[in-house]
């Protein structure tokens, strides 16, 4: 087994407690994604009804909605990769954070137009919190002089 000295050097730039906190952040981010993705994949019509307050019966739209949750599942696995090495996988965080921001904005627009119920507020708030934490993480790495991509 070989040791990647670049990886060790990158992680050494972060104090031990900070590295542990970042790993915890990305494990929680992965669990957040899995918490939505798994029910959305297993029962997309049920998840849609919880989120939007009415039935989803069109098989094509069920497949599209399931596909969106499949994307959330993949982001969850990406966040697990980031937890393994928070310094190396910044691109995943940038993409995941942008995805969360765009999803929160879209869901907020739907909510403000009465197209979803209060359940959406939990999702919007959670994704906004993760976006803020991801930005703080990226700023911190930048201040340490570590490359972001």
Report residue 65 as tokens.
Answer: 């909605």
**CA–CA gap between residue 144 and residue 109 (Å, rounded):** 37
For 12-33, the pLDDT digits (tens) are 577 789 999 999 999 999 999 9
pLDDT tens, residue by residue, 57-96: 999 999 999 999 999 999 999 999 999 999 999 999 999 9
Q: Is 133 exposed, middle or buried (0-12, 13-18, 19+ CB in 10 A)?
A: middle
Residue 115: the pLDDT is 95
Is pLDDT above 70 for 54?
Answer: yes
For tokens 């970042």, the residue is 22
Whole-prediction pTM: 0.86
Distant-in-sequence contacts of 14-20, Cβ < 8 A, 24+ apart = 14/86, 14/87, 14/144, 18/140, 19/86
């Amino acid at each position: 087994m070989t040791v990647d000295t670049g990886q060790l050097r990158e992680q050494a730039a972060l104090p031990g407690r900070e590295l542990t906190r970042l790993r915890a952040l990305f494990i929680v981010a992965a669990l957040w994604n899995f918490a939505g993705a798994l029910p959305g994949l297993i029962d997309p019509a049920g998840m849609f009804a919880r989120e939007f307050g009415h039935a989803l019966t069109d098989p094509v739209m069920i497949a599209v909605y399931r596909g969106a949750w499949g994307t959330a599942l993949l982001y969850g696995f990406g966040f697990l990769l980031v937890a393994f090495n928070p310094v190396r996988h910044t691109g995943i965080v940038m993409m995941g954070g942008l995805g969360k921001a765009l999803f929160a904005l879209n869901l907020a627009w739907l909510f403000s137009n009465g197209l979803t119920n209060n359940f959406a507020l939990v999702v919007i708030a959670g994704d906004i919190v993760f976006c803020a934490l991801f930005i703080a993480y990226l700023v911190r790495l930048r201040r340490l002089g570590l490359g972001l991509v």
